[in-house]
Amino acid sequence: AHNCFMLDNGSVKCWGANASGQLGLGNTSNLGDNASELGGSFIAIDLGTGKTARAIEAGDNHTCAILDNESVKCWGANASGQLGLGHTNNRGDASGQMGDNLLAVDLGSDRTAKAIAAGYAHTCAILDNSLVKCWGDNSYGQLGLGDTANRGDGSNEMGGNLPAVDLGSGRTATSITTGTGYTCVLL
């Protein structure tokens, strides 16, 4: 119930439902249901000092961006760990949670993202080495790890502790998409 777009200067703007802070504005007020909220008064999301976006994905109640340094930042609902921050606290729904205060997702030592997909309550990234890592809700096995345990909702579940999806011997991903309870990759 929300949309985000990236402008030609790498800034990001979102509108729509915002009950979980998925618009990244430091509040839970919906945006775009009043004409005076758009246009020149439309606020860009604070991604951090000097940071711009290279890609943006809106999930159900969370949003993730790949920044200009290929790091990933996510905000909004986090009940299943879909923000990849090692806890279940929402981000972006109160002041002081965005910008430099919003931590990047730990993808592993020296790992960065080249593609991102945000599902209903899970997130997946194609890493710089073309492997795939997913975190968040795993009720249907949508993280591709052979179980139904959520990842990213507790300490020590991200970074090097988060396994890559086994895509088959010698296989890597070229694109990725997610939905309510599934993930698909093109090899």
Could you tell me which residues come within 8 angstroms of residue 40 by beta carbon, excluding any fewer than 6 positions away? Answer: none
pLDDT, tens only, 86-126: 999 999 999 999 999 999 999 999 999 999 999 999 999 99
Could you tell me which residues come within 8 angstroms of residue 118 by beta carbon, excluding any fewer than 6 positions away? Answer: 57, 58, 59, 62, 63, 64, 74, 82, 178
Instruction: Please state, in angstroms and rounded to a whole number, the distance separating the CA atoms of residues 68 and 182.
Output: 28
CA distances from 14 to 68, 75, 91, 128 (A): 18, 12, 15, 27
Torsion of CA 104, 110, 111, 113, to 10 degrees: 60
pLDDT at 87: 97
- CA-derived radius of gyration, the chain: 16
pLDDT at 149: 98
pLDDT at 35: 83
Name residue, tokens 């345990």: 149
Instruction: Please state, in angstroms and rounded to a whole number, the distance separating the CA atoms of residues 34 and 52.
Output: 27
pLDDT at 41: 78
pLDDT at 85: 98
pLDDT, tens only, 9-44: 999 999 999 999 999 999 999 999 988 888 877 889
pLDDT, tens only, 124-160: 999 999 999 999 999 999 999 999 999 999 999 999 9
pLDDT at 182: 97
| b/e map 136-145, b = 16+ CB within 10 Å | bbbeeebbbb
Instruction: Please state, in angstroms and rounded to a whole number, the distance separating the CA atoms of residues 104 and 183.
Output: 22
pLDDT, tens only, 50-93: 999 999 999 999 999 999 999 999 999 999 999 999 999 999 99
